[in-house]
């Protein structure tokens, strides 16, 4: 666990949060500063920061995150209209928490990405 990591503290139950989904690999919460009507964060329970450190034993974790994202998109009713999955890595990308997380965005037409 990252000592000062807000996502690790949520996973450990130290910070209360409205967890929408949880399993043994990851959990899902709503973003507190949403960029779209639906803006969810899929967060692995295990502290992990950058994809460049991804090893074969963590491939299952990333797969589980994408599976949870698809399930939550269906639950939020945005599959038919479409949704975006985004992972920010590092300062230039806008990553605000140094713990891997997957953004699920939808509920309206999203602008083009650069």
Asked if residue 85 lies in contact with residue 104, where contact means CB atoms within 8 angstroms, the answer is: yes
Domains and CATH numbers, the chain: 6-106 (3.30.428.10)
Asked if residue 86 lies in contact with residue 102, where contact means CB atoms within 8 angstroms, the answer is: yes
Question: Model's pTM, two decimal places?
Answer: 0.94
Q: Phi/psi at 65 (nearest 5 deg)?
A: -65, -45
**Residue 83 pLDDT:** 97
Q: How confident is the model at residue 112 (pLDDT cuts 50, 70, 90)?
A: confident
From 47, 59, 99, 101, active-site residue: 101
**In this structure, what DSSP letter does residue 110 have?**
P
Whether residue 47 lies in the annotated active site: no
pLDDT digits (tens, 9 = 90+) for 26-55: 999 999 999 999 999 999 999 999 999 899
CA–CA gap between residue 21 and residue 25 (Å, rounded)? 11
Q: Phi/psi at 103 (nearest 5 deg)?
A: -85, 135
């Amino acid at each position: 666990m990252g000592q000062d990591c807000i996502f690790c503290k949520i996973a450990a139950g130290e910070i209360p949060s409205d967890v929408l989904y949880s399993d043994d690999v990851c959990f899902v919460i709503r973003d507190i500063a949403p960029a779209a009507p639906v803006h969810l964060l899929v967060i692995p329970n295990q502290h992990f920061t950058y994809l460049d450190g991804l090893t074969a034993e963590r491939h299952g974790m990333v797969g589980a995150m994408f599976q949870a994202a698809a399930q939550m998109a269906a639950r939020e009713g945005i599959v038919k209209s479409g949704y975006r999955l985004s992972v920010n890595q590092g300062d230039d990308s806008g990553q605000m928490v140094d713990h891997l997380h997957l953004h699920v965005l939808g509920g309206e037409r999203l602008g083009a990405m650069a």
